[in-house]
Structure formats: structure tokens, C-alpha cells
Amino acid sequence: MDEVRPRLFMSRCLGFEHCRWNGEVINDEFIRQLEPFVDIIHECPEMAIGLGCPRDPVRVVRDGDTMELLQPATGRRFGPVMRSWAEAYCRNLEAPDGFILKSRSPSCGFKDVKVYASFAPESGSKPGAGIFGAEVVRVFEGIPIEDEGRLRNFTIREHFLGAVWTLARFRAVKKKGTMGALVDFHASHKYFLLLHNQKEMRLMGSIVANLDKKPLAEVFSQYEAELKKALASPPKYTSLINVVQHTFGGFSESLSKEERALFINLIEQYRDERIPASVLLQLVRSWAVRFGEDYLLKQVLFQPYPLSLVEITDSGKGRSY
């Protein structure tokens, strides 16, 4: 597959400007490492609606069926202006391949934001979304959305990167707009999709086969909808075992008794969380090289995003897929 550069939206305070309410900026290591590989769009919703910097902090307050954005120090309410700004901004934003939003922000956060039950200073709160974050979730359904806090988690980060790069590759295929490009995309993503969602992978295969001779635009649109569903959740670790066992089946007869025993032993170690997924994947890949399995070597399963980013996800700690 051709190299692609995903387009990512990021909250501006994540390293791009000192625009937090207290004039600070967040220096996030993961975002710094991502920067050379992606095209970034950033914005600060609170600055965009004219709140200035530094500013008194705001909070989300439930007000009947809607959410208000209250500035407790001044009593001013910015809910309607923030909502209409967010709606217009999202409407005009060319869909990125992913979002990294500031965690817990009453504007940018998309979950785990304190949503206060009332305007009373001592009101209790429940977790919810910020006003811009909620609009992003509503408008960009199916596109990976995360915050910098959740992305510290090994599995969430791995899943996010795989999904973002896959959507970016699909965007390049859409630009080509040919059936041949779509067929190639599906063929090279087969095992990656199998890892995520076997049912969706098979459904997508039938969309590509296009036995009903649907127009190309309809085929692309159906395929894209199912691709987003397939990538919605991180794969289960048992799926990775199924996929590598499936690929192993293709050359197990050609391997020595010792090599087969090594493979079985590594699967057990992976099951016990003693080694990361990449150990199994690279072993299978080395056999694919040895036996000239070109179809397998083209699979993005072995490297769904740039190798330089693997070292920041694949620490071997925690369960990956």
C-alpha cells in the first residue's frame, strides 16, 4: 500500500498554543511523536468564541434537556454561542481520519467531563461530554475519537492508530475511485479486518464482489459504512490468536517440529500476557518471507501504521490485541 498521511484534528492546547484557561499548554509526548507522520488541524473552541486567555474557567451544567456552559466566577452562560459555533465548525470541517481531544474539558472533552446537575455552586456531577466534544461525536460517527488521557492506554492507542491509518488509506482509495483500487484495499486489509470483526469483513467482501452490479459510488459508500463499523472496537486478544493460527495453517506442514513447537509455545505466552502481539505477528511474517507467501506479505495486519510508531505502542506491557 502507498504511504499515507492521516489528517487528525487536535485540541489546540495539546501542544500548539498556550490557550488553556490559565494560559498553559499541555505537552503530550505521544502527540509530539505523531506529528511527523500526520497532517494536523487544531482549534480552540473557547478562544474561537472569544473567551480570551487567561480566562475564568467554565463548566458544563445540565439545564433541562440541554447543556449550559457556565462561567461560575462571572455567572455568564456560553452554551448557545458555543453550540452554534461547534455546529458550524463541524459542518464545515472536511472529515479528518481521527480526533484527539483534550480530556475532561467542558468544551473539548468527549467523555468523562464533569456535567453538573444544577447551577448551584455545590452541585454534584456525573460524567458526560463537553459541548464541542458532543458535537464531534454526533457529526463524525464512525471516525476514531479519543482524548490524550485515554491514549496513554496501550490497547486504546494501538486500536486508535490502526483505525486512523486504515481510514486514511481508504480515503486515498476513494480518491482513486476505481473498483480495482477497492478490491486491492480489501485484499490487503483482509486479515486486519478479520482481526477486528469477522462478520463485517465477510460482509465487506460481498460488497466488493458486487454481484448486484450496483453503481460504484454506492459500493464505496456501503463499504465505507461497514469499514467504520468493523473498526469501531478494539480486537479481542483471542481474535489475534485465531488470525495467526489461520495464517500459520498455510505453511505449518513446511515447518520443522521445533518451529511448530515454538509457535505453540509463543501463543501460550501471548495468552498469558508475557509477550506482545508483535512477537507472534513478526514470526508469522518471517515464515511468509521464507515461503514466498506474497498474499500474506501484502497484509497490513503486519504493519497497520508506520514502524516508527510501533515502539511507542508496543511496550509489551498490558494487553494489546
Q: Which CB atom, from 105 or from 197, has the smaller least distance to ligand SF4? A: 105
Of 4, 19, 163, 173, the one binding ligand SF4 by CB under 6 A: 19
* Structural contact between residues 160 and 271, judged by C-beta atoms closer than 8 angstroms: no
β-sheet with 76-77: strand ranges across: 76-77, 66-71, 59-63, 113-116, 125-128
What is the closest distance, in whole angstroms, from the C-beta atom of residue 101 to ligand SF4 in the complex? 7
Give the H/E segment covering residue 186: helix 179-196
44 touches ligand SF4 by CB under 6 A:
yes
Q: Which CB atom, from 18 or from 199, has the smaller least distance to ligand SF4? A: 18
Across 282-299, b (16+ Cβ under 10 Å) vs e yields ebbbebbeeeebeebebb
Q: Contact letters (x/-) for ligand SF4, 63-102, by CB under 6 A? A: ---------------------------------------x
Of 38-46, 116-124, 182-190, 294-302, the segment contacting ligand SF4 by CB under 6 A is: 38-46
Of 41-49, 80-88, 121-129, 162-170, the segment contacting ligand SF4 by CB under 6 A is: 41-49
What is the closest distance, in whole angstroms, from the C-beta atom of residue 320 to ligand SF4 in the complex? 29
Q: Which CB atom, from 6 or from 45, has the smaller least distance to ligand SF4? A: 45
Give the H/E segment covering residue 139: helix 131-139
For 16, the grid coordinates are 500548539
Q: How many C-beta neighbours within 10 Å does residue 182 have?
A: 22
Q: Which CB atom, from 99 or from 154, has the smaller least distance to ligand SF4? A: 99
13 touches ligand SF4 by CB under 6 A:
yes
Of 82, 99, 107, 159, the one binding ligand SF4 by CB under 6 A: 107
Q: Which residue has the cell 467542558?
A: 106
Of 46, 135, 148, 200, the one binding ligand SF4 by CB under 6 A: 46
Of 60, 108, 219, 296, the one binding ligand SF4 by CB under 6 A: 108
* 39-182-143 Cα angle (round to 5): 40
Contact residues for 134 (Cβ-Cβ < 8 A; gap 6+): 67, 110, 128
Give the end-to-end CA distance of the chain in Å, rounded to a whole number. Answer: 22
Of 6, 7, 12, 296, the one binding ligand SF4 by CB under 6 A: 12
3-class SS string, 277-316:
HHHHHHHHHHHHHHCCCHHHHCCHHHCCCCHHHHCCCCCC
Applying CB under 6 A, the residues found at the interface with ligand SF4 are 11-13, 19-20, 44-47, 102, 105, 107-108
